[in-house]
């Protein structure tokens, strides 16, 4: 059976706009821009006959999928696709902590690129832990019978998830872009998965012409 899987990052939140860390511990809503992005996403893809919508357990993904959920498409909220936990940095901006978060993220990314996947922000989740639950979710997703599935999740989780889908080590996470409501499309044929669209934001062109 061939399946089409659309993987989308949530729309913009005020935390995104203000460069404040969200992660899995901050359950923020979309801002006006995010709601406009979500509406543009729906307008562009509303004629796709999705038979399942999967969101994370966090509000911003459910709000991004609202147009589709209002069509009474079957919906599952799955915490396995929540954003990574950024520990002590969640809910904070760079001016709120003594140690520069930019430097901490840079150091963490360097560790992950060196395959130290157990590295984490204090109190947060490691890349290994995130990859484990995303791998578990992928197996559930591949086994589902629905043929057109919309998955709404989060930036860092998407980066890791696409690595897993493409069979690449997760040290390559940063190779994948993740704009707000950017769309990855994956074709599944049996156990074979192929990414055929990457971080596509054509639907946002309508916002730029208003």
Which residues are catalytic, by number?
Answer: 10, 83
β-strands 183-189, 192-200: how paired?
antiparallel
In this structure, what are the phi and psi dihedrals at residue 30, rounded to the nearest 5 degrees?
Answer: -70, 150
The closest alpha carbon to 176, from 26, 21, 9, belongs to 9
- DSSP secondary structure code for residue 70 in this structure: T
In this structure, what are the phi and psi dihedrals at residue 206, rounded to the nearest 5 degrees?
Answer: -60, -35
CB < 8 Å & 24+ apart, contacts of 13-18:
13/60, 16/180, 18/93
């Amino acid at each position: 059976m061939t399946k089409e899987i659309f993987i989308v990052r949530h729309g913009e939140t005020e935390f995104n706009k203000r460069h404040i860390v969200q992660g899995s511990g901050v359950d923020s809503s979309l801002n006006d821009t995010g709601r406009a992005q979500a509406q543009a996403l729906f307008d562009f893809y509303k004629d796709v006959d999705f038979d399942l919508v999967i969101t994370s357990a966090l509000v911003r993904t459910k709000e991004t999928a609202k147009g589709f959920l209002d069509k009474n498409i079957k919906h599952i909220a799955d915490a396995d696709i929540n954003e990574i936990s950024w520990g002590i940095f969640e809910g904070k901006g760079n001016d709120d902590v003594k140690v520069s978060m930019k430097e901490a993220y840079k150091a963490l990314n360097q560790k992950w690129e060196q395959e130290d996947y157990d590295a984490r922000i204090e109190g947060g989740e490691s890349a290994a832990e995130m990859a484990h639950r995303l791998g578990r979710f992928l197996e559930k997703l591949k086994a589902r019978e629905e043929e057109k599935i919309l998955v709404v999740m989060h930036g860092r989780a998407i980066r890791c998830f696409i690595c897993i889908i493409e069979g690449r080590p997760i040290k390559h996470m940063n190779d994948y872009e993740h704009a707000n409501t950017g769309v990855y499309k994956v074709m599944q044929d049996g156990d074979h998965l192929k990414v055929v669209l990457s971080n596509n934001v054509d639907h946002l062109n309508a916002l730029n012409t208003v």
